[in-house]
Amino acid sequence: YEELKNGKWLTDLAYFLSALQHSSGMSKDMIPGPYPKTPEERAAAAKKYNLRVEDYEPYPDNGEGFGDYPKLPDKSQHERDPWYNWDHPDLRRNWGEPIHWDFDMLTRNRVDMSPSPVSWSSMCKQLFGFIGFMLFMFYLGEKFPSYQPVAPKQYPYNDLYLERGGDPEKQPEEVKNYEI
């Protein structure tokens, strides 16, 4: 009844009901808290996320809604050791390990941020160089077409006068398709 008298009894009731339905209580603690400002808050947040206090680094507080969620290094799951005995081998992750914010992007089916054998600038130059060159050449080909010289087809017998249904009595006009 003390809690009922408290102003936020409705939110408490809501959390309680949701905990009942989801059968995994303590969901209120699991929501990320605000950005940690004092060292004690940092220590508490590091403990919550199973990280060392020195390793814990929250996202910068610029209002983007991260709260105190830790900022883990941007490494995709492709880079993790395939031979280690992970708890979840397909995800290359152990149980309880803090999850990167973009974890669903970094799974092995999706974005691969592993190091590339050639540098980024070299890759960009090669790809865009090739595409740019091909586009430029196609543009030139449109502008200056080059093909065998062609002319309209020339038919014999005065442009096939009889075959096209011309009057056999009448004399057709002479069609000269050549010049000597």
Partner 1 sequence: MAEYRETPLAERPKTLDPNEYFNVSLEKRGAEEARAAFRANLKRQYQMQLNNPHRKELIEDPALTNWVQARGNIYPHFRPTQRTSMFGLAFGVVPLFFFYYVFKTTRDWKEERIRSGTDTQKYRLTS
Nearer to partner 1, 114 or 154 (CB): 114
Q: Which stretch binds partner 1 (CB under 8 A): 10-18, 47-55, 127-135, 152-160?
A: 47-55
The reply to whether 97 sits near partner 1 by the rule CB under 8 A is: yes
> Residues in contact with partner 1, total (CB under 8 A)?
38
How far is residue 135's CA from residue 100's CA, in Å, rounded to a whole number? Answer: 40
**Nearest CA among 43, 75, 42 for reference residue 61:** 42
The reply to whether 52 sits near partner 1 by the rule CB under 8 A is: yes
The reply to whether 96 sits near partner 1 by the rule CB under 8 A is: yes
How far is residue 104's CA from residue 77's CA, in Å, rounded to a whole number? Answer: 10
Q: Which stretch binds partner 1 (CB under 8 A): 1-9, 112-120, 127-135, 151-159?
A: 112-120
The reply to whether 121 sits near partner 1 by the rule CB under 8 A is: yes
Q: Which stretch binds partner 1 (CB under 8 A): 6-14, 30-38, 136-144, 171-179?
A: 30-38
State the DSSP code for 148: -
Shortest distance in whole angstroms from residue 36 CB to partner 1? 12
Largest interatomic CA distance in the chain: 120
* Contact between 33 and 68 (Cβ < 8 Å): yes
Q: Which stretch binds partner 1 (CB under 8 A): 5-13, 90-98, 149-157, 164-172?
A: 90-98
The reply to whether 98 sits near partner 1 by the rule CB under 8 A is: yes
- The one-letter code for the residue type at 16 is F
The reply to whether 120 sits near partner 1 by the rule CB under 8 A is: yes
What own/partner pairs with CB < 8 Å and gap ≥ 24 does 119-128 have? none
**Nearest CA among 24, 66, 76, 62 for reference residue 45:** 66
Q: DSSP letter string over 92-114?
A: TB-TTPPPPTTTTTSSTTS---P
The residues of the shown chain that bind partner 1, judged by CB under 8 A, are 23-24, 27, 30-32, 34-35, 48-52, 54-55, 62-67, 69, 87, 94-99, 101, 103, 115-121
